[in-house]
A and B are shown apart, each in its own frame.
Chain A
Amino acid sequence: MNLASQKVILLVEDNPDDEALTLRALQKNNILNEVRVARDGQQALDYFFGPDASANPLPALMLLDLKLPKIDGLSVLQRIRADSRTCLQPVVILTSSREEQDIINGYRLGANSYIRKPVDFSQFMEAIHQLGLYWLVLNEPAPSV
């Protein structure tokens, strides 16, 4: 887990309940990586492109909700993919929406995965477990440029 602890997870989530539940699910699944939380689209972008951005490590995984205050998730994704520094950033869309249009647009803008938040917390736990296992353990990220 030493290796894992060095990897930062950026959670972009405006709903505090969801934030709490997500954090709980990560914790319950023994994903002990540092989790940075952005509560709207602007904060998410600031993490990458804000004045203090240089101090922020590029996250190993970004969990992006789509319905966000100020700037919505897809716009955030677009901006991230547009920048050469962050274009390879692993982004998993984690949202309540199962609208086809959202899924298509998400992938079109370069989302790496699209996960729908199940109502059933047990299923949510399972989803988070597999996410962590895959992206933080199994997946070999692109070398930072």
Chain B
Amino acid sequence: MLLVLILVPVYSFIAYSVFEIRQQAKQYALHNASLLVQAAALEQTNLIEFTRQQLFNFAQLPVVRRPAWARLCNRTLAAIRQKNSNYTNMGVINLDGTVRCSALAVQPGLNLADRPYFREALQSRGFVVGGYQIGRISGQPGINLATPVLNAAGEPEGVVFIALNPNLLTQVLFRTVTLPAGTTLFMVNQQGMVLAYEPNPKAWVGKLVPDNPLIRAILANPEKGSLQARGLDGVRRLYVFRRIFSNGPEQVDVSLGLPLRSIYGPADTLLLHAIILMLLLTVLMIALVWINARRLLLGPVEALIEAARRLGKGDLGARTCLPHTPDEFGQLAQSMDDMAEALQRRAEEVERSVQILEEKDRFLTLVGKMAKVGGWEFDPGTLEARWTEEVARIHEMDPRDPISVESGINFYVGDSRARIEAAVKAAIEEAKPYDLELEIVTARGHHRWVRTIGEPSVRNGQVVKVSGSFQDITERRLIEEDIRQLNASLEVKVEERTQELYVANKELEAFSYSVSHDLRAPLRSIDGFSQALLEDYGSLMNEEAMGYLKRVRAATQHMGQLIDDLLVLSRITRADMQREVVDLSALAQEVLDELQRTEPLRCIRLKVEPGLSAQGDAKLIRIALVNLLGNAWKFSSRVPEARIEFGARTGADGRVDFFVRDNGSGFDMAYVDKLFGAFQRLHLASEFPGTGIGLATVARIIHRHGGQVWAEGQVNQGAVFYFTLPGPEGAGWPGHMKGEGT
């Protein structure tokens, strides 16, 4: 196909070229022939002109003019004719038409008076050209040219003539110009008589052939022309013709016939060569194609097929091994190799993916085994199910055994059976997921607790699959059971303890009540009656006795104070806390104001930082502040320029440390541990009165708020008591509002 596509235009081009060459050859031949014919015509004209002059010259010759010199005339003319092959004959005609003299011998009695040229010459008294005719003297065709011989008076005395051989004209032309073989040159007159013919004049000259189509065509044409026709000899030629003579009805046409072979020969040869060449080329190309088809076509095709076959068999390493040239095969090979490459890459990716998947599967299986968890799924339509190895293992089944929803459900026992049936039904019908902990009996009869989670997949409003996880939670259940039992027993214990605590609390309350009532009553009696003694019998007692009684009274009153303080401490421990935001600054100011009222005359510098607040129980915090500020008040009483300050600083971790600072007697840091213990005192009662319960109370209150309390001090340099409380925003503090001891 490709071959045809290539060859057809080539052949067409060659055919066209040959055609063009033929046309050009024809044109060229026509042109050449025309020139030749023209030359013939010109030669004819020249000949006639030359002959006219000759005739004129003859007419002046005495041998011509004098009738007496006829014999001499004959000899002279014969001599001239011998030198002039163009002249068929020449002679002088008397007025009566008899021949005076002639180059050729004249038959006796010959009269030429009827000849047109003779009559015309006499009549016109000038040069005339007669028509072509067969000479009566020469017996040969010729054209007679004549001019009258005039006497002194100008009267004609005779006519001198020359008969020209037309064949000579053609002969000369034919021989001087190199013409292709087979060329003919001929002349014909109006009658269709062949006047001249080359190369074989004898065969044709003088013959009348008016009916020959070629002759007819030539005669019919007025001036000149050309045509392709069969000549008189039957050979096809290209004929070029031209009228070279026309005198009245007389006319002469000359025609040159070039054989077609000579015109188209080269072109035809070229065509033949071209055809041969093309055939050769075609054969060669077919051969080449055939050979190359094996090499260029079949080879690659086989390579492609082989590669495709190997690829088809799964050998993804297969390649065409063809060069990736830009032609079809190269592209095909490249596409195929690219495809194979892509396939191989894909296959490698798939391989890797499979490896990863296998790895993941192995990992999942391992994890599943460790966690005793697996997966399952079933088709709600067919109720066909499948499960992972681990699920089978939990059921103590062979993982290869077939499984269905029904057989799966059959493992559940008791209450679990009804629950799983309901759950599966709801999952299928209402797409309801479930998460259940149920009991199964394995294939080997072991009771196990499992957690099964089911998740229906819905497509187009239809449950198409239910899948889920399955986990052996037996151990967990056992542990949970243990924990439950433990919890239950713990709850019982807690209940018992709570009860005990409640009882203890009640007892403590009763104790406190009784302390406040019953321990005080005797003290009141002791104090009261001691006073009564002093009042009523003071006069009977000496100073010493009254001193003792006073000591009794002081001791009872101190005891009363101790009891009161202990009761406060006890109440703090037991009291329910009311949590609220407490304005510490205001509270401190209030307490200090109260202290100031007890000793209005004491000069002391009091400083309260404004805007301090915290969360806590206002009453308890007040008790703490009363104790702290009271201590400061008390221990700074002997300092001339006493100062008490309540404030706050930013302490560790950004928390707020509140503090109460005084410049009083301070304390030795060695005993700082004892500060907050109940009944611990660092001073003599005679120095500073007190029960040693105040700071224990403070510590108890702060601890109940989840805060901390600590102190720094130096003997005679004052003390600072720090404490922390939950912030007013209630955040950022471990709010152990129910403190220890409750």
Contacts and interface: CB of A to CB of B under 8 A. Distances in A.
Interface of A: 15, 17-18, 21, 24, 28, 66-67, 95-100, 117-122, 124
Contacts of B557: 119-120
B517 A119 contact: no
B551 to A, nearest CB: 14
Interface stretch (B431-439, B525-533, B647-655): B525-533
Given A97-B513, A119-B557, A21 B528 contact: yes
Contacts of A28: 535
Interface residues of B, number: 26
5 contacts: A17-B525, A28-B535, A117-B520, A121-B532, A121-B553
A99 B516 contact: yes
B531 A17 contact: no
B419 interface: no
Nearest to A22: B528
A96 B531 contact: no
A124 B528 CA distance: 9
Contacts of B525: 15, 17-18, 21
A15 B553 CA distance: 20
B165 interface: no
A15 B519 CA distance: 13
B597 to A, nearest CB: 18
Contacts of B530: 121
B494 interface: no
A25 to B, nearest CB: 8
B559 interface: yes
Interface in B493-551: 512-513, 516-518, 520-525, 527-532, 535
A100 B520 CA distance: 17
Given A21-B529, A119-B556, A119-B559, A124 B524 contact: yes
Contacts of B527: 119-121
A99 B518 CA distance: 13
B521 A96 contact: yes
Contacts of A18: 521, 524-525
Contact of B564 (A17, A67, A95, A98): A98
B531 A67 contact: no
Interface in B549-587: 553, 556-557, 559-560, 564, 567, 571
Nearest to A16: B525
A38 to B, nearest CB: 17
B491 to A, nearest CB: 31
A97 to B, nearest CB: 5
Nearest to B535: A28
Interface of B: 512-513, 516-518, 520-525, 527-532, 535, 553, 556-557, 559-560, 564, 567, 571
A117 B519 CA distance: 12
A105 B500 CA distance: 27
Given A98-B564, A99-B516, A121 B571 contact: no
B516 A119 contact: no
A24 B560 CA distance: 21
Contacts of B520: 96, 117, 119
A40 to B, nearest CB: 15
Contact of A98 (B521, B529, B535, B567): B567
A30 B738 CA distance: 52
Given A119-B523, A119-B557, A120-B557, A96 B528 contact: no
A95 B517 contact: yes
Contacts of A100: 571
Contacts of A96: 516-518, 520-521, 524
Contact of A24 (B513, B532, B553, B571): B532
A124 B526 CA distance: 13
A117 B535 CA distance: 20
B528 A17 contact: yes
B114 to A, nearest CB: 195
B517 A67 contact: yes
A17 B556 contact: no
A100 B509 CA distance: 12
A120 B560 contact: yes
Contact of A17 (B517, B518, B529, B571): B529
A56 to B, nearest CB: 27
Nearest to B571: A100
B528 A15 contact: no
Contacts of B512: 99
A121 to B, nearest CB: 4
Contacts of A15: 521, 525
B516 A121 contact: no
Contacts of B553: 120-121
A24 B534 CA distance: 14
A82 B530 CA distance: 41
A121 B513 CA distance: 21
A78 B529 CA distance: 33
Contacts of A99: 512-513, 516
A66 B557 CA distance: 22
A120 to B, nearest CB: 5
